[in-house]
């Protein structure tokens, strides 16, 4: 069967950056920065991104070399071995992630409508905004409707295909996203009293760095770069043979990091300008920000743009999660693209409903002491993603032939500029990355 490829270099970049840049940057990163001490966290995070970059390249290498979906890739590259189990996990995990991701995507849809109908009005209090959020997520229908709309949008883009769905959507939306976030960051940074927030972001207090900061930063780097769940592998399989893997991976990671910083510049200065607590946690975007928007000049416009940006960023990531299952079902099970999309929709929709209800009627239903939403979130971000990433990098460093890996990174030796770099990257993949990932997790466990 003829497989689709991304059309050109820009297409590859927007698709990969689209996957990487998402709720992780706009929602997760800023609240982690707030909870883990500001610039010190940012500083550790930079190291973690550098550590994750070779892992990102490894995923692209496996995808492009095998030219197959996340499960098929291991059958092609290591036939008859147990590595196909890693492939199986890589197909199941993104479906779990997309189901709870879509619930938060649904919250963004709801908040976009709230912003567009000017519900965040002046005079709102922070307590009022927290109550509004609490009431909303614990209700039954509204969040499920949001989740359904969001998942339908995702499915629509997926059905349109790799080139005319994923790539085209990214090409229009990713530049728009950068424009939106720059506009919001400039607005926030020019609020009176914003300087304090910028100092908080850029002037590290190194005494704040401890094992928990390192573990959180590494987990966030995995999450933000979409690693360990077969996503980058699947996108890698759509990258054409003359593409420069080292360059496009580096560009993606850079864009992802810059976007996370920009998002923090849009949020932290405003938090400080209003004398609020940066350690708000996951509620930062949905409770603190609407309060700020309600009380700042031009806030209504910024609110609409911010929640629009949140939806767009979340969509380009959720399509990358969704595509993993679709590619698997089409190539391994012979389903049509449309049929596969419907099947993934059905599974993710039902699981997502359980996640959504776990803030309301199912709040007391616990598995391993966690609500369904928290279980999905914790197990995937803290266990499945890092373990998946670790196994993948071991696969590339120790199971694949060195010659094949270097061959992928230099396009059969034709990219002479990559010859030296690829040797260094191979060394990192084989020794440094696995050891460092294990070390960080052991430290986090022990301390």
Q: What six digits make up the tokens of 25?
A: 């940057």
DSSP 8-state symbol, 367 = B
Site for ligand PHE contains 326 (CB under 6 A): no
Q: Which is nearer to ligand PHE, 22 or 299 (CB)?
A: 22
Region near ligand PHE per CB under 6 A, out of 14-22, 163-171, 272-280, 359-367: 14-22
Candidate residues 20, 61, 213, 267; the one interacting with ligand PHE per rule CB under 6 A: 20
CA dist 76 to 17, 71, 81, 334, 340, Å? 27, 9, 10, 17, 22
In angstroms, how far is the first alpha carbon of the chain from the final one?
52
Q: Facing residues of 367 across strands?
A: 370
Instruction: Report d(CA 31, CA 43) in Å as an integer.
Output: 15
Q: Which is nearer to ligand PHE, 157 or 276 (CB)?
A: 157
Q: What six digits make up the tokens of 164?
A: 């005319």
Q: What six digits make up the tokens of 36?
A: 């883990």
Q: What six digits make up the tokens of 234?
A: 């699947």
Site for ligand PHE contains 108 (CB under 6 A): no
CA dist 95 to 67, 111, 191, 267, 344, Å? 21, 24, 41, 30, 7
CA dist 403 to 79, 208, 250, 345, 419, Å? 18, 43, 22, 40, 12
Site for ligand PHE contains 90 (CB under 6 A): no
Q: Which is nearer to ligand PHE, 23 or 73 (CB)?
A: 23
Region near ligand PHE per CB under 6 A, out of 168-176, 224-232, 279-287, 369-377: 224-232
**Computed over its alpha carbons, how large is the radius of gyration of the chain?**
21
Candidate residues 229, 289, 326, 355; the one interacting with ligand PHE per rule CB under 6 A: 229
Site for ligand PHE contains 24 (CB under 6 A): yes
Site for ligand PHE contains 321 (CB under 6 A): yes
Least distance to ligand PHE, CB of residue 312, Å: 12
Site for ligand PHE contains 219 (CB under 6 A): no
Site for ligand PHE contains 231 (CB under 6 A): yes
Least distance to ligand PHE, CB of residue 318, Å: 7
Q: Which is nearer to ligand PHE, 120 or 223 (CB)?
A: 223
Q: What six digits make up the tokens of 322?
A: 């969704």
Output the DSSP codes for 177-200. HHHHHHHHHHHHHTSTTTHHHHHH
Per-residue binding string, ligand PHE, 152-181, x by CB under 6 A, is ------------------------------
Site for ligand PHE contains 234 (CB under 6 A): no
Site for ligand PHE contains 32 (CB under 6 A): no
Restricting to residues 298-317, which ones interact with ligand PHE according to CB under 6 A? 317
Instruction: Report d(CA 410, CA 412) in Å as an integer.
Output: 5
Site for ligand PHE contains 224 (CB under 6 A): yes
Q: What six digits make up the tokens of 297?
A: 């000049």
Site for ligand PHE contains 223 (CB under 6 A): yes
Binding site for ligand PHE (CB under 6 A): 19-20, 22-25, 97, 223-224, 226, 229, 231, 317, 320-321
């Amino acid at each position: 069967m003829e497989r689709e490829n991304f059309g050109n270099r820009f297409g590859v970049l927007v698709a990969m950056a689209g996957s990487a840049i998402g709720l992780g940057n706009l929602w997760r990163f800023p609240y982690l920065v707030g909870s883990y001490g500001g610039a010190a966290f940012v500083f550790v995070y930079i190291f973690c991104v550098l550590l994750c970059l070779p892992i990102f390249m490894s995923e692209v290498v496996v995808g492009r070399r095998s030219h197959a979906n996340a499960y098929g890739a291991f059958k092609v590259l290591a036939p008859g071995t147990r590595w196909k189990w890693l492939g199986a996990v890589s197909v199941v995990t993104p479906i779990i992630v997309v189901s709870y991701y879509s619930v938060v995507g649904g919250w963004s849809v709801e908040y976009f409508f709230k912003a567009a109908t000017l519900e965040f009005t002046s005079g709102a209090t922070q307590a009022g905004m927290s109550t509004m959020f609490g009431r909303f997520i614990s209700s039954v229908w509204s969040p499920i409707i949001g989740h359904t709309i969001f998942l339908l949008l995702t499915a629509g883009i997926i059905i349109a295909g790799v080139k005319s769905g994923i790539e085209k959507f990214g090409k229009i939306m990713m530049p728009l996203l950068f424009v939106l976030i720059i506009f919001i960051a400039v607005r926030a940074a020019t609020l009176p009293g914003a300087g304090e927030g910028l100092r908080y972001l850029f002037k590290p207090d190194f005494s704040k760095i401890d094992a928990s900061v390192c573990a959180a930063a590494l987990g966030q780097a995995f999450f933000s770069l979409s690693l360990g769940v077969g996503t980058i592998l699947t996108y890698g399989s759509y990258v054409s043979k003359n593409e420069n893997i080292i360059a496009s991976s580096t560009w993606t990671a850079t864009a992802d990091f810059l976007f996370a910083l920009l998002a923090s510049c849009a949020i932290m200065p405003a938090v400080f300008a209003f004398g609020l607590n940066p350690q708000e946690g996951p509620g930062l975007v949905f409770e603190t920000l609407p309060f700020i928007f309600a009380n700042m000049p031009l806030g209504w416009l910024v609110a609409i743009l911010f929640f629009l940006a949140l939806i767009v960023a979340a969509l380009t990531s959720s399509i990358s999660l969704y595509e993993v299952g679709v590619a698997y079902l089409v190539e391994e099970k012979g389903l049509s693209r449309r049929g596969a999309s419907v099947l993934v929709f059905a599974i993710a929709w039902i699981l997502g409903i359980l996640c959504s209800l776990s803030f309301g009627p199912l709040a007391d239903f616990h598995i391993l002491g966690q609500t369904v939403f928290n279980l999905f979130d914790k197990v995937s971000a803290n266990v499945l993603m890092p373990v998946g990433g670790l196994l993948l990098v071991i696969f590339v460093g120790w199971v694949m032939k060195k010659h094949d890996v270097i061959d992928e990174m230099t396009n059969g030796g034709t990219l002479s500029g990559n010859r030296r770099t690829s040797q260094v990257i191979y060394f990192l993949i084989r020794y440094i990355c696995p050891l460092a990932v294990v070390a960080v997790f052991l430290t986090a466990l022990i301390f």
